[in-house]
Amino acid sequence: MSGAMGAINATVPPAAPSGPDARRLVDVVLRARELGIVAALAALVIVTTALEPRFLDSQNIEFILSNTTIFAFLAVGEAMVVISRNVDLSVGSVLGLSAYLSSNLFTQVHGIPVPLVFLVGLAIGLVCGVLNGAVVAIGRVPSLVVTLASLYIIRGVDVWVVGGGQVVANNLPSSFLSIGTSSIGPVPVMALGVGAVVAVASYYMKKFRSGRELYAIGSNPDAAVLAGLRTGRRVFVAFAVSGAIAGLAGVLWAADYGTIDSTAGTNYELQVVAAVVVGGVAIFGGSGTIAGAALGALLLESINTALYVLGVSPFWDSAIAGFLLIVAIALDKGISTRLTGALRKRNLQYGT
């Protein structure tokens, strides 16, 4: 031991073993964002229910959950993309195109099996995602620009294909429409399915190399290259998954709403990005969870519904969503600054 070490030990009480302590700090901070959302959600429910007990009606809960479902589903893919320090703005347009093309199959091919329609929706989304991913990963064009372009292009294709027409519920088989309406208790079947997807994707991002590598790429792209990660490939896959999910979400949307024209999913991309960020995924990548992103979607939808139930003007919907976004980003910045500070201090204390 050198003299310097002795000097440090002399000024600080003998350091307790730093292991479990440091781990606890890290764990708490990592969970803080999801805990924050759960707390916000709880506060919202308590306050709103106190003012208007109808808020907790099973009918109302079902309403919230079914409105959340599509956004939470889209948030899974979007979160993967954002974690890798990219963004996918095309999900709303992909959803719209897939919703029309897949549901229109029922009018063109009589008796077409429902699973096949889902596969078609998935394929449409996958193609869009693959194109996005290829331009971003191979062309090295910023994803903001690429997906902004594909937002408009895909919507343009949608408008061109749909023309003035629309698919209406009468043309859709009841087995298809029941996907959107059936529920177990107050929980829609669709929400259960999406919940399962969220759980699987969260586990995947946490436990599998490719998931961890997405975090690494978003945390420091240069270091990711130096570490020998195939960054282009990982980002490409994230976009493909996001596209595929948006495609599937389009089919679900069709089953849920029953009437599909060329405006389906308009502006969804912004709500999804908002949900992801409110849910604690850092907008510049590297941290956050998919479960958090899904919770973000639930929180935003619950606020909308609460405002409606309380009879507040719908004008406040978007204002509050925007406000939450600011809060989320401020929290993000605050947490990382605090965390950096706390960890630095720890260094000094233990003299590592």
Partner 1 sequence: MPPVAAVAPVLVLEHATKSFGPVRALEDGSIELYPGEVHALVGENGAGKSTLVKILAGVYQLTSGRLLVDGAAVALGNPAAARQAGIAVIYQEPTLFPDLTVAENVFMGRHPLRSGRRVDIRAMREQVARVFEGLGVRLEPARLARGLSVADQQIVEIAKALSLEARVIVMDEPTAALSAYEVDRLFRVVERLRASGAAVLFISHRLEEVFAICQRVTVMRDGRQVLARLLEGLGPDDLVKAMVGRDIVLRGEETRRAGGDVVLSVERLAREGVFADISLQVRAGEIVALAGLVGAGRSEVARAVFGIDRYDAGSVVLHGRPLPKGSPTAAMGAGVGLVPEDRRQLGLVMPFSIEGNVALASLARLRRRGLVRRRAERAFAADWAVRLQMKFGRLSDPVATLSGGNQQKVVLAKWLSRRPALLIVDEPTRGIDVRTKAEVHRLLIELASEGVAVLMISSELPEVMHLADRVLVMREGRMVAEMDRREVSEETIVAAATGQLQRLGA
What is the contact surface with partner 1 in residues (CB under 8 A)? 2, 4-5, 8, 18-19, 22-23, 25-26, 207-209, 212-213, 215-216, 218-220, 222-229, 282, 286-287, 336, 339-344, 346-347, 350-352
Distance, CA of 155 to CA of 142 (rounded, Å) = 20
Residue 284 or residue 323: which is nearer to partner 1 going by CB? 284
298-322 burial string, b = 16+ CB within 10 Å, else e?
bbbbbbbbbbebeeeeeeebeebbe
Distance, CA of 304 to CA of 60 (rounded, Å) = 12
Q: Which residues are bridge partners to 188 per DSSP? A: 183
Distance of alpha carbon 135 from the chain centroid? 22
**How far apart, in Å, are the Cα atoms of 91 and each of 40, 42, 129, 141, 312?**
27, 29, 9, 18, 29
Residue 111 or residue 228: which is nearer to partner 1 going by CB? 228
Of 100, 188, 93, 216, the closest CA to residue 147 belongs to 93
Structural tokens at position 43: 């506060």
Give the shortest CB-77-to-partner 1 separation in angstroms. 20
Kindly give the interhelix angle for 143-162 and 114-137, rounded to the nearest 10 degrees. 140
Give the shortest CB-199-to-partner 1 separation in angstroms. 15
Dihedral in degrees, nearest 10, Cα atoms 177, 181, 184, 186: 170
Give the shortest CB-277-to-partner 1 separation in angstroms. 15
| DSSP secondary structure code for residue 188 in this structure | E
Give the shortest CB-335-to-partner 1 separation in angstroms. 11
Tell me whether strands 187-188 and 183-184 are parallel, antiparallel or unpaired.
antiparallel
What is the CB-side half-sphere exposure of residue 12 using CA atoms within 13 A?
A: 16
Give the shortest CB-27-to-partner 1 separation in angstroms. 9
Residue 333 or residue 344: which is nearer to partner 1 going by CB? 344
Residue 271 or residue 287: which is nearer to partner 1 going by CB? 287
Give the shortest CB-226-to-partner 1 separation in angstroms. 5
Give the shortest CB-338-to-partner 1 separation in angstroms. 10
Residue 171 or residue 336: which is nearer to partner 1 going by CB? 336
Residue 123 or residue 283: which is nearer to partner 1 going by CB? 283
Give the shortest CB-20-to-partner 1 separation in angstroms. 9
Residue 80 or residue 251: which is nearer to partner 1 going by CB? 80
Residue 108 burial (CB count, 10 A): 8
Distance, CA of 110 to CA of 273 (rounded, Å) = 37
* 159 Cβ neighbours under 8 A, 6+ residues apart: 262
Residue 201 or residue 282: which is nearer to partner 1 going by CB? 282
